[in-house]
Amino acid sequence: MQPAGETALDSSKRFDDLFHAHYQRVVGVLCRLMGDRAQAEEIAADAFCKLARQPAAEDHEGRTSWLYRVAINAGLDAVRSNARRKRREEAVAGSPQSTDDALDRLLAEERRERVQRVLAALKPRDAQLLLLRSDGMAYRDLSLALGIRLNSVGSILARAEQQFERKYRARYGDRI
């Protein structure tokens, strides 16, 4: 379904504009979240494909926020799935033997996985907000990307940060 008066060409152009405006940001955020560029690009592409199949009834802001929500939620799902798979693999393989050279990498990997797990445990909107803000997105763009009022960004962000810290401390102790 297309908005009244919109041709297929208009619809295609709207999608094209959205793609060029947001593809890099979506992949960048997913890449940071997942640490796997190929998987990030795959999820981003999937989100854009779903967007292309969406009825074009929504306005630009609606489609933008839909895109970010779907992409980041899919990224968080993949993080959960990856974590489950890794636990299974480690259970089969036993503890990995670390060398001195690999120690730093293992520690960095552990820090990353902790953040991933806490993000995956948050409400989706809080995780989306923290990921986009940590990627340097300005409040006005956050408002557009997540479909929240500009005046509410600060308060929602403050609550999301509080939740993140609380869950992190609950899982991994007070040393942050």
Partner 1 sequence: MKRCFEDGDLRAFADGELPVESLQEIAGHLETCPSCSARHRELSRRAARVYGLMAGLSEVDHAIQIPRARPRRRWWLATLPLAAALAIAFVRLPHRAPVRPSTVAQATVPAAPLQTAAPAARPAVAHPVAKRRAARRPAPDEEFLRLDDEPIETATIVRVSADSGALQADLIVGPDGRAHAIRVVRNR
**Residue 66 C-beta: closest distance to partner 1, Å:** 20
DSSP state of 58: S
Nearer to partner 1, 33 or 56 (CB): 33
Residue found by looking up tokens 């947001």 in the block: 22
CB of 132 within 8 A of CB of 145? yes
Residues 112-141 contacting partner 1, CB under 8 A: 112, 114-116, 130-131, 133-134, 138-139
**Contact stretch for partner 1 (CB under 8 A) within 4-12, 63-71, 83-91, 157-165:** 157-165
Based on the shown chain and the rule CB under 8 A, indicate whether residue 15 belongs to the binding site for partner 1: no
**Residue 13 C-beta: closest distance to partner 1, Å:** 14
Spatial CA neighbour of 17 closest among 41, 48, 42: 48
DSSP 85-99: HHHHHHHHH-SPPPP
Q: Within 13 Å of residue 86, how many CA atoms lie on the same side as its CB?
A: 12
Q: How far, in Å, CA of 103 to CA of 100, rounded?
A: 5
Residues 50-109 contacting partner 1, CB under 8 A: 108
Nearer to partner 1, 17 or 59 (CB): 17
- Give the interface size with partner 1 as a residue count (CB under 8 A): 41
From candidates 102, 103, 152, 170, binder to partner 1 by CB under 8 A: 152
Total H helices, total E strands in the chain:
7, 0
Amino acid found at 96: P
**Residue 115 C-beta: closest distance to partner 1, Å:** 5
In terms of C-beta density within 10 A (0-12 exposed, 13-18 middle, 19 or more buried), how is residue 118 classed? buried
**Residue 61 C-beta: closest distance to partner 1, Å:** 19
- Interface residues with partner 1 (CB under 8 A) are 19-20, 23-24, 27-28, 31-37, 45, 108, 111-112, 114-116, 130-131, 133-134, 138-139, 151-159, 161-162, 164-165, 168, 176
